[in-house]
Amino acid sequence: MNTELKQEVRYLLRYGKQKSRTGKELASILGFSNDRLVRLAIRDLIAEGLPVASSVTPPFGFFIASSLEEAKDYMRVLKGRLVQDAYRRRDFKLASREILQPHQMALI
């Protein structure tokens, strides 16, 4: 990931949920038409130790967690996503079983 872009994203992120900014807003400020690169930069910033969280309730967007409550809330959101992804994977596996494990034709 581009170090300069990460620094720019880091500069635009604010502390606390009440000061969150959407990915679309961050991308617009940086001159991008979508937030894909912003999200990748945020992922890298988290991996480097910056506690960037996102909010799925108003105010929506990304922010730097600044309290125990904000950190715990985001951890709950992530856990919920993991559970939903596990259900989706299970359901997809069942739905695509004909592709994944085609039946062998019976011998006559």
Q: What is the pLDDT of residues 15-28, one digit of tens each?
A: 999 999 999 999 99
DSSP letter string over 20-53?
-B-HHHHHHHHT-SSSHHHHHHHHHHHHTT--EE
Question: What pTM does this model have?
Answer: 0.82
Which CATH number is 3-97 given? 1.10.10.10
Mean pLDDT in the chain? 93
Domain ranges in the chain are: 3-97
Tens-place pLDDT, residues 54-75: 998 999 999 999 999 999 999 9
